[in-house]
Structure 1
Amino acid sequence: MNLEKFFTELKRRNVYKVAVAYAVVAWLLIQVATQVFPFFEVPNWAVRLVVLLIVIGFPIALVIAWAFELTPEGLKRTEVADAAPTQRSRSRAWIYVVLIAAALSIGLFFLGRFTASPKQSVSATVSAKSIAVLPFDNLSRDPDNAYFASGIQDEIITRLAKIADLKVISRTSTQQYQSKPGNLSEIAKQLGVANILEGSVQKAADQVRVNVQLIQVASDSHLWADTYDRKLVDVFTVESEVAKAIAEALQAKLTGGEQQALAVKPTNNSEAYDAYLRGLALEVRASSPNDSEKVVGFYERSVQLDPAFALAWARLSRANAQVYFSSLDSTSARRAATERALNTAQKLQPNSPETLLAQAYYQYWVRRDYEPAKLTFGRVRELLPGSSEVPGALALIARRQGQWDQSIAYWEQTLALDPRNTQWLANAAETYGMLRQFPAALKTYDRLLDIVPNDPVTLACEAKIYQAEGNLEEAGKLLAGVNAQTHSFMVVSKGSSIKGICSSPSNMPAILPAREGLLKKCCAP
């Protein structure tokens, strides 16, 4: 075929004109769909349908332009129109169509960009497949059933964290919020997500009702909602179905392995699962040695009721390892209990992410064997890509090994998934300070103070950074704001380490009362 003749024929048959006009009009229709549809809460599938039809229609339009021609007598086949003695119309109406459509398209484009609300602008900077699961409301008559709602929330987060295509905020960052807050846009901004899942749980005897709704914050629209009524023993299916429905609503791709992981039913014993959820809920808010022992007790009760409950064995191993690592009980008996629970979990489910996580913590917290721990955490990360726990642990290990830059990289990954975790923020800020990256340290301490305003420990740590920068005046202001009634020994140790501030006489009146009050409170017999 002669290409020159072919392209000449395309031009003669107005195929080029049709292609340009179609492209401009198609762009106009896409702008209408993307900019106007959301205001009327038209579902996303309708926008995708419009785009799909436009794409399919393009080759059809080109074929029609080749085979037919518009004449004053109407639409005729090109061969017939060529044979007719009438003179071909020189109308340039198509040019006006293109220009008008182009003007409308550009107008809609910039209208959507410049009139977008602040919350829409913020949402554009976060992943559309990001989600935070807020605390579930306990609707049971018995307020003691709050542990059950808390456990269901945690289990859904864990399942979502197994989906690599999703960004899932850790429960540590979401637990500080209410079940159904009114300021969703502010919460989404703080957590860096585009979507929020709200829910409630009602438990009566062996019956459970779970209500969930997925909200797209930018448009304040419900992407999906459902109610599940199940027997207690079948609550696992609810957790799996919710995770799958969320993935579908956010158009997240599920691999075969992820689908299998979501469908796993860890136990058939409802009492064992109830004890497991009690341990899970208490573990999140444990604040004393007594709480830590109670957590261990709940997991022990769970595995007694179902010796084949691998997930509970893994949690039991981790709970014992944490008691051992925190020096609450560093006896050989505690170490043996940790290892025994881990060995049982490995026999039952050696390759599950929960078992591998227990193994990694045993290597890190109990054996202090960092290289094998890093390798095991790496395996866990492949199975739980959305977990903040893994990069957080790797950050601490890297710091212990003197790999400071690597520790910083891990902290950044951790805080992306757990932005309101006060422990992680404090550790990250401290690491920045050790590297003398003072601006980053101060910024991180400010994030921490945004969560816990006027916290004396954080104020003292930030003052230490200002001292290291040579800004004694600012350090003095922070110390002056420390609550003189606190009994935190940590603040005293941090405050006493910045004695260089006292070399500035102008700071003395503000600093001394706070420091003396701290010392009297902490050092009293």
Structure 2
Amino acid sequence: MLWPDRFLEQAKASLRQCLLDLRRQFENKGCRNLLVVTRSAVALNRNLWLSDLSELEEAVAQGKGTRTAQILESVANLPMLQAASLNQAFDNWLSLKRHEVDARLRKSIARLVSELRTTGEPESSARLIAASQARYPVAIGPAEIGLAVLPFDQIDQVGGDFFLAEGVTDELVSRLGKVEGIALAGRTSVLTVAARGQTLSEMAASLRVTHLIEGEVRRTPDAIVVRIALIEGVTGSEIWAERIEGSIDDFFESRKIIGNNVIAAICRVLGLPLSPAPLRRMTTNREAYGLYLQGRSLFRRSITDGAAAKSVDLLEEALALDPEFAECWTALADAHVHNAVYTPCLDRVERSQTAAQCAKRAVALDPGQGHALAIQGIHEWTRKNPAGALDLAFEAYAREPRNADVALRLGSFLLYIGRTDAALPFIEAGVEQDPAYGRNHAMLATAHFNLGEMDRALAAGQRMVDLGMPGMWLATIQAAVGEHEKATETYYASRMLMNTVILPPAGTEPMSDAVRDAYWAIASKGCCSGDDSARAAYCGMLDGLHQTMPDPCDPSIAFPAIWMGHAELVMNIYRECIHPANMFGLMSLWADVEPIRQTRRHAGFMDFAEHVGLVEAWNRHGWPDLMPKDPRGA
């Protein structure tokens, strides 16, 4: 392989001479006995040298989860013996050896993850899973296939309440999401993309998946027919289809049909082994199941106040029929949080508490409800217990590492405490699964912004705006790179989302167009123009709003206060109340730019951090990237 153009004896002689020269070179450098040569092997003495690979294998062997994750993060996707290329035969041999080492590492890392979870180390386990997913996507399964389950069409010739199409997609999503080797697109992104009227191949590209599942449910007076098809994303071509016919009673048991037949067939077509799925503790009550599907679908599709309240009512009706319905408790908890964030209300903390109680009930019924643990973590923030929130988020991720909502909740919690570098892998994983949800790109933009990666921050911020999110985060980044005029325009343009995406603060009346435009003009100049007098004027206005608004801690006050570095107001707001709607702003505290850094550099910041529980979280989960150790010298 090394001398392919020579006869065998000549090549052997060349090898001997090369090894002799190498030995001399090592000895001249004081590295005696570094080269080990026997009749059957040539190697370096592993007792005398270190490499990232040897350190990685040692960390895994010693059961050091955090150290293993650190090494995996540092090597990222670098190949072993990178740039070593001599000829085709040697390259093929080297590729084989790389695969052998990778296979060995994947197996040992998976074993270490299992050990860490067993011994009660969810943080180390979650970090190691995220790091190994970046380096070895197969660390928790075979090479992954990106898959999206599109909403099924429903053709009903009977009338009345009928939600079987939602039920079929629900069961497909639940079961396929647990198949090793499948990365399932998030439901929010799927709903967003499905509403655009794109072709199948365009939808696959938008969702970053290799395959789609689409179909329809048709009900006639005589029977129900379900068609399910697997689509190749690149071509939009159907590569497998199934037609199932039966009565309503048959299809209430569709979970068994889908689990035993459809999922097995899809895995077979995709070349994946069908691993036994964990038992899904669903209801046996048909009416409760229908109410659950309606309620969950409603709060995912709409942020209007009427729809939000209706979704809670439907889910509560379902639980009245079957109080042991664990997934419905999780859905109800999610709905309460969703409503606390997106609907104007003055009881956000109370709604968060109700969500936490529902989530606890879900976990008590089914310990596999990792998402419910993450929802409990949200309420811990309102209790000024971010350390406990992160404990719950790490455990949630250890239980459901494939759930985009869980990954993003963990990533956001790490962002809030300033651990941006640690947060980024979880946020990127969530965005990869749920790429058409603007909120996710707001987190991604902020993470890159905090790390000083301005080009990536601008790109993620623009993607966020393209997906219909307000542009204030993008404007803040534009201002930080000196594009003040453009930033002011971007911020001001967000006014057009008032009363749709941006709802009036609780207890206030909708603004007239003239008042709205005047307010946003002051806000955009104060946050983005770089003019000190404009900043001072808007800071003064926010001080007044903080004194007079029904919710003095509303995001409309908290967020711009952070972006303008109005330290006293920021600390007053979050001392008074952290709730599900304003905690999102905490991620913006950690950009090392003016004027945002003024809050972090304020003389009272550490006392504030102690009061809201950040110091305890830092002591338990690591200090912020911008504060690697306690500045008080403690």
Q: Equivalents in 1 of 2:221, 2:394: separation in Å? A: 41
Tell whether 2:330 aligns with 1:318. Answer: no
Task: Work out which of the residue numbers 424, 439, 444 in structure 2 matches 1:428.
Answer: 444
Partner SS state of residue 234, structure 2: coil
Gap change, CA 1:251 and 1:321, over 3 Å in 2: same
C-alpha RMSD over aligned residues: 3.8
Tell whether 2:487 aligns with 1:475. Answer: yes
Tell whether 2:420 aligns with 1:404. Answer: yes
Q: Which residue of 1 aligns with 2:182?
A: 166
Do the aligned partners of 2:352 and 2:379 also contact (CA within 8 Å) in 1? Answer: no
Partner SS state of residue 209, structure 2: coil
The alignment-based identity, stated in percent, is 23
Q: How many Å apart are 1:478 and its aligned residue? A: 4.3
Partner SS state of residue 179, structure 2: coil
Task: Work out which of the residue numbers 309, 329, 348 in structure 2 matches 1:293.
Answer: 309
Do the aligned partners of 1:208 and 1:235 also contact (CA within 8 Å) in 2? Answer: no
Tell whether 2:264 aligns with 1:244. Answer: yes
Tell whether 2:526 aligns with 1:497. Answer: yes
Partner SS state of residue 132, structure 1: strand
Larger radius of gyration: 1
Q: Equivalents in 2 of 1:358, 1:282: separation in Å? A: 19
Q: Which residue of 1 aligns with 2:241?
A: 225
User: Deviation string for 1:374-421 (max 9, x for gaps)?
Assistant: 344444434433321111101111012221212222211111111111
User: Deviation string for 1:189-236 (max 9, x for gaps)?
Assistant: 222211111111235689643211001133543222112234242132
Q: Equivalents in 2 of 1:206, 1:313: separation in Å? A: 35
Q: Equivalents in 1 of 2:203, 2:245: separation in Å? A: 29
Matches within 5 A, 1:444-455: 444-452=460-468
Gap change, CA 1:280 and 1:239, over 3 Å in 2: farther
Unaligned runs of 5+ in 1: 1-126, 504-521
Q: Which residue of 2 aligns with 1:345?
A: 362
Do the aligned partners of 1:279 and 1:299 also contact (CA within 8 Å) in 2? Answer: yes
Tell whether 2:379 aligns with 1:360. Answer: no
Q: Equivalents in 1 of 2:375, 2:494: separation in Å? A: 36
Gap change, CA 1:401 and 1:164, over 3 Å in 2: farther
Do the aligned partners of 1:135 and 1:175 also contact (CA within 8 Å) in 2? Answer: yes
Higher helix proportion, which one? 1
Partner SS state of residue 230, structure 2: strand
Q: Equivalents in 2 of 1:164, 1:229: separation in Å? A: 29
Q: How many Å apart are 1:143 and its aligned residue? A: 8.0
Task: Work out which of the residue numbers 439, 444, 447 in structure 1 matches 2:455.
Answer: 439
Q: Equivalents in 2 of 1:206, 1:435: separation in Å? A: 61
Count of residue pairs brought into register by the alignment: 371
Paired AA for residue 237 in structure 2: S
Q: Equivalents in 1 of 2:307, 2:445: separation in Å? A: 28
Do the aligned partners of 1:159 and 1:243 also contact (CA within 8 Å) in 2? Answer: yes
Matches within 5 A, 1:382-393: 382-393=398-409
Q: Equivalents in 2 of 1:315, 1:193: separation in Å? A: 26
Do the aligned partners of 1:161 and 1:385 also contact (CA within 8 Å) in 2? Answer: no
Partner SS state of residue 435, structure 2: coil
Task: Work out which of the residue numbers 322, 327, 340 in structure 2 matches 1:306.
Answer: 322
Do the aligned partners of 2:148 and 2:185 also contact (CA within 8 Å) in 1? Answer: yes
User: Deviation string for 1:406-452 (max 9, x for gaps)?
Assistant: 22222111111111111111222133334433211111122223333
Q: Which residue of 2 aligns with 1:462?
A: 474
Do the aligned partners of 1:210 and 1:228 also contact (CA within 8 Å) in 2? Answer: yes
Do the aligned partners of 1:163 and 1:385 also contact (CA within 8 Å) in 2? Answer: no
With the length of structure 1 as denominator, give the TM-score of the two structures: 0.61
Tell whether 2:192 aligns with 1:176. Answer: yes
Partner SS state of residue 135, structure 1: coil
Gap change, CA 1:382 and 1:208, over 3 Å in 2: farther
Gap change, CA 1:482 and 1:329, over 3 Å in 2: closer
Do the aligned partners of 1:433 and 1:441 also contact (CA within 8 Å) in 2? Answer: yes
Do the aligned partners of 1:438 and 1:465 also contact (CA within 8 Å) in 2? Answer: yes
